[in-house]
Structure 1
Amino acid sequence: MIAGTSPGRVPRRRGPAQPRGRRLRNREAAITECYGDAMTAVPEWMRPPRPEGWFADDLDHLPEAPRHTELIDGALVFMMSPRRIWHAILIDELRGALRAQAPAGIEVVREITIRLDDKNRPEPDVLVTEQPRDLRRTFFTPDQVLLVIEVVSPESAHRDRTVKLRKYAESGIANYWIVEEEDDGAPVVHTYELDGPTRSYVPTGIHRGKLRIPVPFAIELDLDGLLPGRTS
């Protein structure tokens, strides 16, 4: 009897280790056998470049990826439905209003990713930073971001309210806003501030009509005025 085995059990013999390339080919063959043409129809660029999945830096080397591609927990996330004009106009107007009030040295940027860690690189709708303008930049890091804003759409609601809420807090971003749409089309802003010891967000207000808040700088917004031509 071989040490470490039970009486009557025959120890399993392991064959020689397969080269990595052969293991990957066997894995792809097994996936194809299981899922058939559904897997073979996937474009080559959408296949993870390694068994561990995608890394944050991979987003800089995917020219075929659609705009606004994000990385969440090592998986590519695409915008699956077209954005409504409400969403696009609100982002533009919100950014413009914040830029008009921002002190010198503060930049308000839209739709640039934040590299939270090796497996997470989300793209917020708007962010506020003290970093000097660099036209070659493709991402920020959490320590460079003062405020993140997500304008909720039906497709992004779960990520914005739960997944990103947790991940932005865990990465140490001090302020987070979630902008929702009321039944009449008016924007309502939920504001959060980071509790440092717990690395979680604390709600600081639900703002309708007007928003006045002192961080990351003194901000006063006429929320109804951001979409003056809205209809219910």
Structure 2
Amino acid sequence: MTNGTVSPLAQSMGHIILLNGFPGVGKHAIARAMQDSLPKSTTRLIDNHILIDPAEAIRPGRGPSHKALRKAICSVAFSAIKEDLNANPDLVFIMSACVGNNSDDIAVLHEYLDITRGTSVSFHMLNLRCGVEEHRKRFEGVERYQAGKKKLGDGKVLDALVRENELVDLGEVNVGEGILFQGKEFDTTDLPIEKSAAEILGMVGWKG
């Protein structure tokens, strides 16, 4: 893993904070709480469903045509994010994903990483983890489905997903040159949403 020196949010030139975790771990809720703690004018939340749902609606499934469409949508979105970060060094983008430890998912991760390649923007990635019982409780919580997104709702599918897959190993990710990268593991099991958000912001250098 190639690490760059990460400055506090108040001093560095733009930030991407990528929350990575399995469905139901609390990525979106934590991201919203983080967004609420940062200046509204310079903070943007890009939930992974914003990018996934259009591709799923147009080309359902996970076949080659779906993946190609998702990649095209992400390419346009990520180019716009990079332009905005270059134009406004105070911006903070909070994003979410479910990147596993396999070649296809790591290729997707590099699409995210390339947003900051060759820039002074810091890229913070956190693998969010949660104990089995708490994970299922969050997964089945009513509030998880109130936003109207196409979220996974089958507990058996979740169990198989977690059992058969691992989150990307942040210690093995080769981010390449030209990226200020910081990767950390974060256990949310015993933490309320607001506490998780505050601790993550502290980990990436936010002093507010």
How high is the TM-score relative to the length of structure 1? 0.32
Asked which structure has the greater RCO (Cα within 8 Å, sep 6+), the reply is 2
Larger radius of gyration: 1
How high is the TM-score relative to the length of structure 2? 0.35
